[in-house]
Amino acid sequence: MYNEENYLNKEVILQKNMIKKVGVVLRPSTPELKSNFFQLQEVFNSHGIEIYIDSISGAMIEVMGMEFDLLCQQCDILITLGGDGTLISAARRSYKYDIPIFGIYAGTLGFLADVSMDELDEFVSNLACGNYRIDERSVLEARVVNNSKEIQIYAFNDIVFTRPSISSMIHVETLVDNKAFNTYYGDGVIVSTPTGSTAYNLSAGGPVLFPLTKVFTLTPICPHSLTQRPMVLPGEFSIEMKTSDCKALIIIDGQDMHEFEKGDSLHIKLSPKPIRLIHRNEFNYFDVLKEKLGWGD
């Protein structure tokens, strides 16, 4: 019988190292989170854990902060206070430091940020004694290659290969493991991790994937042909994308954008190194799905 907890035993379940220092990142342009930060600081300090804030967040709430890269090097874990977008941004920025991260939501429950301020004291008590789990989430590793340079990209949710203008469609030539696979004609293609399957991928008609699986999806956006359907690929595969059109755009997690020229090529695969998310032991992904998507109502 399927049991989510048994499945998670394949991942890193408990982190027994003592947590001494925690770095905090706040949702940008939200100075009203100042009171939440001081509440968070009080709770962690009461458990003997030091709190530091990144310099951009600190400037927003008029608190002395620490440069982000130094924060990642000095702290044991990262906390984001905001929503899923704040966590995704911090996770990508901290990716090279391999630091575990968890999200506190300021608003409604997220797919990733799943701890509320009301639950914080109980959660920190468990955190301080190692009573939590770490889930390893797949990351997309991509390279944009042309004659003069190569750009390295990492995406937590998705990479979108799309048209530069709403007035035209785009051809996306796709190879899988160096073999011709498909040419998509429409608004573009979404390459999504399991974590990102409930984001743009879901809106475009792609499948919901269990977040700890080692696969990724190719989902066409508004394809010109109804025979173009989403595809789930094993994690060990790699794909290459290019276009015969003059220009295209590559959008990373809905947050960063790169211009793509005719003659460039985009190479995507799952990175061998995951992002590590901290969750309560009782966290259940299917409960979150039911609440966020209204399943069973």
In the prediction, which pLDDT does 17 show? 55
Pick the closest to residue 51 from 26, 31, 84 (CA basis): 26
Q: Is 121 a catalytic residue?
A: no
* Strand duo 231-234 + 215-221: pairing: antiparallel
Q: Is the pTM of this model over 0.75?
A: yes
Please tell me the least confidently modeled range out of 28-37, 41-50, 164-173: 164-173
In the prediction, which pLDDT does 87 show? 97
What does the pLDDT look like over 4-43, one tens digit per residue? 554 444 344 334 458 999 999 999 999 999 999 999 999 9
Tally the C-alpha atoms within 13 A of residue 38's C-alpha that lie toward its C-beta.
Answer: 7
Helix (H, G, I), strand (E, B) or coil at 4: helix
In the prediction, which pLDDT does 139 show? 98
Going from N- to C-terminal start, the domains of the chain cover: 4-137+274-293, 140-270
269 beta partners = 141, 238
Sign of the four-CA dihedral 285, 287, 291, 294: positive
Domain 4-137+274-293: give its CATH code.
Answer: 3.40.50.10330
Looking at domain 140-270, its CATH superfamily turns out to be Probable inorganic polyphosphate/atp-NAD kinase; domain 2 (2.60.200.30)
In the prediction, which pLDDT does 167 show? 85
Q: Which among 84, 187, 253, 264 is annotated as catalytic?
A: 84
Question: Do 4-137+274-293 and 140-270 agree at the fold level?
Answer: no
Is 153 a residue whose pLDDT tops 50? yes
255 beta partners = none
In the prediction, which pLDDT does 16 show? 44
Mean pLDDT of 219-231: 94
The residue that leads in pLDDT, 106 or 33, is 33
In the prediction, which pLDDT does 109 show? 83
| Contact criterion met (CB below 8 Å) for 120 and 43 | yes
Q: Write phi, then psi, for 203 (nearest 5 degrees).
A: -65, -30
In the prediction, which pLDDT does 84 show? 95
In the prediction, which pLDDT does 2 show? 41
241: tokens are: 């994308």
> Which contiguous run of DSSP H or E holds residue 193?
none
| Contact criterion met (CB below 8 Å) for 24 and 51 | yes
- Residue 47 amino acid letter: H
Query: Given the structure tokens 């190292």, which residue do they identify?
Result: 17
Q: What whole-number percentage of the chain has pLDDT above 90?
A: 84
| Contact criterion met (CB below 8 Å) for 221 and 187 | yes
In the prediction, which pLDDT does 108 show? 84
| Contact criterion met (CB below 8 Å) for 255 and 177 | no
Pick the closest to residue 292 from 147, 54, 57, 105 (CA basis): 105
Mean pLDDT of 149-155: 93
Tally the C-alpha atoms within 13 A of residue 241's C-alpha that lie toward its C-beta.
Answer: 28
Is 63 a residue whose pLDDT tops 90? yes
In the prediction, which pLDDT does 12 show? 43
Is 204 a residue whose pLDDT tops 80? yes
